[in-house]
Each structure stands twice: as C-alpha cells, then as structure tokens.
Amino acid sequence: MNPFRVALAVARKDLRSEWRTRELVPALAQFIILALLIGNFGFQIDSRSAPSIAPGILWLALVFAGLVAFGRTFAAEREQASLEAMLMTPASPVAIFAGKALAASALLVICEAVMLPALSIFFGTPFSADVIAAVLLATVGMAALGCLFAAIVARIRARELLLPLLTLPLWIPFVIAGGVAVQSAMGLPGNYQQAIGLLIDFDILFVVLTSLAARFVLDE
C-alpha cells in the first residue's frame, strides 16, 4: 500500500469525522478567544506595550490550544477501540501516525486562522505574512511531537495529566525560536531570518525523529 495514500486517507477520515460532529474546532476557537481575553485583563495593555506582550499571549494560547487538540487526536480512536483495527490492516503504522498528525495540524491551523486576526484586532499588532509564516512553521514540528506524545499517553492512566508534562518541554525550542520570530515581526529587536532558519531546522529534525519513533509507539 502506498504510505502517502494511507496517510491522506487517515487524515481525511479524521477531518470528516470532525466536520460531521463539529466539536473540536469551535471549542478550540472559543478557548483561544478566552485566552486573549484573559491576556487582556492580566496585562496592562496599551498601544505602546502591546507589541511586547502580544507575542507572549500568542504562544501561550497556541501551546495550550495545541495540547487540547493533540489530546483529542487519539481520544476517539481509544473510545471506539478503532486504533487496533487500523493497526491490523496492512498499512504501515508510520503512515497512520502521519495521517493523524496531518489532521491534527490542519485543525490547529484552523485555530490559528481564528487567533491571528483576533490578536491583531484586540491588541492592534500587525497581521503580517512574517507572523503567519513563523506560526505555521512552528505548527509543523509541534504537530509531529504533539501527536507522538498523544499516542504515547493514550495508553496510560491519567493521560490528561501527563500529556502537558511530556509535550511542553519538547515544544520549548519552537517557542524560543518562534517567540523571537514573532517578536521581531511585531517590531521588537530580534533576528527574524535567523529565527525562521532555526524553526525550519527544528521542523526537519523533529519530523524525522518522530517518524522513526512512531513505529515503536503505535506498534503492538
């Protein structure tokens, strides 16, 4: 079986089930708006301080929304015990994993499509291609890692507890480089080119590593 077609089929299945229930995306979008609201009241924001505070709120909201999204990735499969059925097919576990990661990152991109305009409306920060590029690049690697650890904790008691503890430390490189990229795109000092280059490096590194590890996590 062609692994790319398997991955696309799994992704299409996940997105279709999300489209039919429409649970996760509205919940995540509302979560993000609430995070921006809390950020607004937690900080003293005016037009001068906004560029230095908005990137922080952006990454906090994105990281926690990502945790919720990836936590749900394997939840439905577990409730229906359908993951075992998928793994019994001749399709390779890595392709199945890639499909799930693809679907989860698509959902996260939809959330970002809500968050970035909302951020620039509420905080008056620039809504530029530079910001979008940095966030999208970070999403790639974060999705690979988030899906891997979602698959790991799906088998463990207290999974809601453990997913943030395992995933957040591994996302830190993306937050560091992405933070600098967004800050400099919003007019703070920082080397944008360097940060974007670093994000691309991390994406390559972690996508390769997670696809190597996926076999051990999903395989029975």
Partner 1 sequence: MNRYEKAAAVGVALMLLAAGAIFLYAPDDALQGPVQRIFYLHVSSAIAAYGCFAVVLVGGIVYLRNESVIADRFARSGALIGLLFTTVTLVMGMLWAKPIWNTFWTWDARLTSTLVLWIIYAGYLLVRRLAEPGRQGARLAAVVGIFGFIDVPVVHFSVTWWRTQHPGPIVVNNALPPEMLATFLFTLVCTLVFAAVLIAIRYRIEALLDAKLRIAEPIQVVPAQRPEAVR
Q: Would you tell me which residues interact with partner 1 (CB under 8 A)?
A: 145, 148, 152, 155-158, 161-162, 165-166, 168-170, 172-173, 176-177, 180, 190-191, 194, 198, 202, 205, 209, 213, 216-217
CB of 55 to partner 1, least distance (A): 14
Shorter beta-carbon distance to partner 1: residue 37 or 212: 212
Say how many residues make up the chain: 220
Q: 143: which 2 tokens?
A: 């999705």
Shorter beta-carbon distance to partner 1: residue 25 or 83: 83
Instruction: Give CA–CA dist 73/32, Å, rounded.
Output: 18
CB of 147 to partner 1, least distance (A): 13
Shorter beta-carbon distance to partner 1: residue 35 or 181: 181
CB of 152 to partner 1, least distance (A): 5
CB of 49 to partner 1, least distance (A): 20
CA 157 to chain centre: 23
* Helix H or strand E encompassing 119: helix 93-123
Q: Give the list of residues 6+ apart from residue 187 with CB closer than 8 angstroms, or none.
A: 51, 126
Q: What is the largest CA-CA distance in the chain?
A: 58
Closest CA to 72 of 34, 26, 40: 26
Q: Where are the alpha helices (DSSP H) in 23-158?
A: 24-42, 50-73, 75-80, 82-88, 93-123, 129-153
Shorter beta-carbon distance to partner 1: residue 59 or 202: 202
Shorter beta-carbon distance to partner 1: residue 29 or 176: 176
CB of 76 to partner 1, least distance (A): 20
